Amino acid sequence: MAQMRKRFSSVCSSSSAEDDSADLYDSVPDPAAEQDHPYAALLCVHQVQDSLLSSNSRFTAYRGILNWIIILLVLTHAHLFLENFIQHGFLIDVKKVLEHLLEENCNWPSVNLILAANVFTVAALLFERFQEKGKLSPVNSRRLHLLNLALLVLFPAAVIVHEPTISTGGALVSLWVYTVLGLKLYSYQETNSWYRQTVSIHADTCSDDSNLTLPDLYYFLVAPTLCYQRHFPRTSTVHINKLLHRTLEMVIVTQIMVGIVQQWIEPIFQRSEMSFTNMDIPVRVEHLVGLVAPTHFLVLLFFFLCHSYLNFCAELLRFGDRHFYGDWWNATTLISLWENWNIPFHKWCHRHVYTRLLEKNIPSSQAELLVFLMSAALFEFVFALPLHSCRLWIFIMMLCELFVAVFLGGYFQGNYGNGLVWLCLLLGPPLAVTTYFHDHYVSFHHPSPSSSSSSSPPGHVFLQLR
């Protein structure tokens, strides 16, 4: 009996010494043990292993839990939509959006502002041609380029501030166009300067100005990239079915976004009689909590709209590099999120700002901080100026994310880090953008006595639909 107990003990010991990565239900009885005793496999049913949901477990098959969360979210928000419909009725009206885009008396100041951007584009091309032909020195050419870029920033800002007939939506679109144009023209002049330096190093190489043409420049301006190069990778053909597919995606996603704004966000705005800065803290928190879900859905839909638009442009232009974003949804740190959510902008910052700062012997940590501050200021600028309200909320929220990444990033890793990333997406800059629109909406519907006489007509509110 003692000998048999020792044999069973050795069998159980060998079973517990198996690899920890073995699956819970994949343990196979030892054939040798079965030969020793017919019940050896039944006697030894335990081994060293962790619970599946513990932090030490390497278990990753959570698809069932994900399906449960999706179903729960659908049912929960279906209840919210039904409650919203019972309380407010059907508010979606696309016709009012189209009427809003006409601006006042079909004057179209935003369209005229966008068309005026061609002046800065042609000026940049002329400066490059003159420098290529030796009519401008590199120093004077760079000064003219910087002056052109400075005017490109100041001109739309002055028009948006002083033109009373431009709508908020038109101001937003036109300022985004000018911002993208400024980034592209900066890359255009700096990259051409690098090409000329290559020619000067290789004296036997002739200067090539065949790319300094309007078609080449405008191809770059329309292409889904911010970084210029003289020869872009191209695909062989244009697939019409893909163009139609992307067009359908953009139409459907736009309709859904308009529906969320009209049916969900605007009723929350209508309940407000004062801006966030004048609200009591409990009321402010209540409004922010109500805006978290629709704002988050808008951000995700806007990302998919950008995905469809960028791929549409790439397919139409046969643009080969379509790596517009990485798997930011799997990011375990905020730094990984910033590097993957917008690849074209990240490439521009790394190519034209970060590496140039390193060339000036600035430490990499300080260069990264300067790039981040520039990005935060840029996003604050493109939203605050069209809404005529600069409260630095977007800038402050991005700084808060930076502090979270620096001081809490080491404590949240893996799934916990990914959860922190999603929490910052829910409560971060997108929510700050919505608060700007909230105060802009309230300022026209509940103006203060001092500003009621000078406020613009209610038709200027972005997506004002009721």
Q: Is 32 left (phi over 0), alpha (psi -120 to 50) or beta?
A: alpha
* Helix, strand, coil percentages, rounded to 5, for the chain: 70, 0, 30
pLDDT-derived band at 456 (thresholds 50, 70, 90) equals very low
pLDDT tens sequence across 312-323: 999 999 999 999
Cα–Cα dist 185/125, whole Å: 9
Answer yes or no: is pLDDT of 2 > 60. Answer: no
Closest CA to 429 of 367, 383, 369: 383
pLDDT tens sequence across 157-168: 999 998 888 888
pLDDT of residue 47: 80
- H-run or E-run covering 195: helix 168-201
170, 225, 298, 420: CA torsion to nearest 10: -140
One-letter amino acid at 206 equals C
pLDDT tens sequence across 206-231: 455 678 899 999 999 999 999 999 99
pLDDT of residue 359: 92
The DSSP annotation for 243-254 comes to HHHHHHHHHHHH
Q: Is 318 left (phi over 0), alpha (psi -120 to 50) or beta?
A: left
C-alpha of 325 from chain center = 9
Q: Quick one: tokens of 265?
A: 């966000």
Cα–Cα dist 332/417, whole Å: 4
> Length of the chain, please?
466
pLDDT-derived band at 205 (thresholds 50, 70, 90) equals very low
- H-run or E-run covering 309: helix 281-317
pLDDT of residue 27: 47
Closest CA to 368 of 403, 334, 400, 335: 335
pLDDT-derived band at 271 (thresholds 50, 70, 90) equals confident
DSSP reduced 3-state for 305:
helix
Q: Quick one: tokens of 260?
A: 């969320």
Answer yes or no: is pLDDT of 10 > 60. Answer: no
Cα–Cα dist 279/443, whole Å: 14
Alpha carbon separation from 220 to 133, 314, 357, 457 (Å, rounded): 22, 11, 25, 38
Question: Is the pTM here over 0.85, yes or no?
Answer: no
Q: Quick one: tokens of 370?
A: 């300067």
